Structure formats: structure tokens, C-alpha cells
Amino acid sequence: MSNETITPQYYFASPIYVHSKKEWVKPLIKATDPHIKEAKKRNAKLIKELKSEFGLSHHSTPLTEDPAFDNFQKFVGNTCAQILMSQGFDLDKSTLVFTELWVQEFSSKGGGHHITHTHWGNHMSGFYFLKSSKNTSRPYFDDPRPAALMSKLPEKDNKAVTAATSQVNFDVEPGTCIFFNSYMPHGFHVDKGEEPFRFIHWNMQAIPNSVLNNKIERA
């Protein structure tokens, strides 16, 4: 092998942004409590039919109309916009809007998880963790390049994050906030039900102003 140093140039990066906002944990747990309570009520019939709560996730209705989340929505919206613009996207003629904003809590009986998926049609997604620990589920992200997996070689060290890495796992705690482009394949490992696992999830889409204005005029 040549001893020459070859400098790589990286393209098509898939950044994931991790931030901590612990000051919002307590007020947002309080704000989400009634939504989780209602979600559990809606699941009561299903739990009775299944005779088990194992594997379920208690999923709220949209939080966008609840004023308790106004400041949170502003933070998420502004951050998502800043990220997209820093990545080189032009938002001058678009408005970034929430297509989904909800809270969910995995069943205390264990088994809660999400298989690998993306959020098609959106541009930015993310999580804010309210109840989590080293004993709960955790999110993972897969390589978003399908062609890279067609002839996958074994990794030399699967504990290190390198160009050969095909999956990245994140240990999270209350207050951890993760932002990512919506095309990123992600999921959640199976939860054991040992401790509560609750988080807020969102999707945002940049909609052309011409489309929004047309909808307003028609309304």
C-alpha cells in the first residue's frame, strides 16, 4: 500500500443535531400529563381486547393547538429553520410549518418500540425526551444511502463510528433534544418497561408561500 496521504472530500453528509434543554422537562411533563392520560383512555378498549398492554405506545392527539406548547413550538420551528438554512437550503419563498406534533409514552408493560421508518414529505423532524434513562428504549438512525448497503463489508470495529458505520444509537436523558432531516431512517429499540419512557415528536415541512396564500384566499 502506498505511504502517500490521500485527503478525503466528504459529500452528501447526513448530520444529526443533539442539544440539551433540561429547563423544559418539568413544565412539559406537566403539560403532557393530561394528553398521555387521554391516550391511555383511548387505548383501554384495545388493551381489553388484546388482554395485554405489552408493546403498545400511548400516542396523543396533536399538541399544536395547546397554548402550553407555544414557546416549545417557537423554539423547534426557529431551530429547524436555522438548520435547513445552514445546510444551504433556501427558505425565502417558503414557510416552515408543523405537520405533526405529538407526545407518546411506551407501555409500562414493556415491548414498546418503533421499526425503522422515515417521515416522507417532511423536511425536518425531531424528538424531545421527557422521561428516559439508561434502562429505557433509545433512538437509532440507519445509513440513509440504500446503495451503500448493497455490497456492505463487515466493520472492523462496530463500536466506533466510522465511514463503515451503518447504524448509530443515541443514549438519551430527560432534556435531550434531537433534530434531523426527515429522510433519515430511524426507529426505537424495544423498551423493557422498567422505567417510564416519554418523548415529544415533531415533523415540519417547508411549504411554498404561493401554496399557502392560495389556501388562505380559497378559505
Domains of the chain by start residue, with CATH: 16-145+165-218 (2.60.120.620)
Q: Which of these ranges, 13-22, 45-54, 110-119, 176-185, has the smallest mean pLDDT?
A: 45-54
Separation between Cα atoms, residue 93 and residue 205, nearest integer Å: 13
For all residues of the chain together, what is the average pLDDT? 93
192 grid coordinates: 423493557
The mean per-residue pLDDT over the stretch 169-196 comes to 97
The percentage of residues in the chain with a pLDDT greater than 70, rounded to a whole number, is 97
pLDDT tens-place string over residues 84-124: 999 999 999 999 999 999 999 999 999 999 999 999 999 99
The mean per-residue pLDDT over the stretch 22-35 comes to 98
Separation between Cα atoms, residue 147 and residue 194, nearest integer Å: 38
152 grid coordinates: 456492505
215 grid coordinates: 389556501
**What is the rounded (10 degree) CA torsion for 171, 69, 63, 115?**
-10
CA atoms within 13 A on the CB side of 138: 12
How would residue 10 be classed by pLDDT, with cut points 50, 70 and 90?
Answer: confident
**Would the pLDDT of 219 be above 60?**
no
Of the candidates 70, 78, 105, which has an alpha carbon nearest to the alpha carbon of residue 197? 105
Global confidence as pTM:
0.92
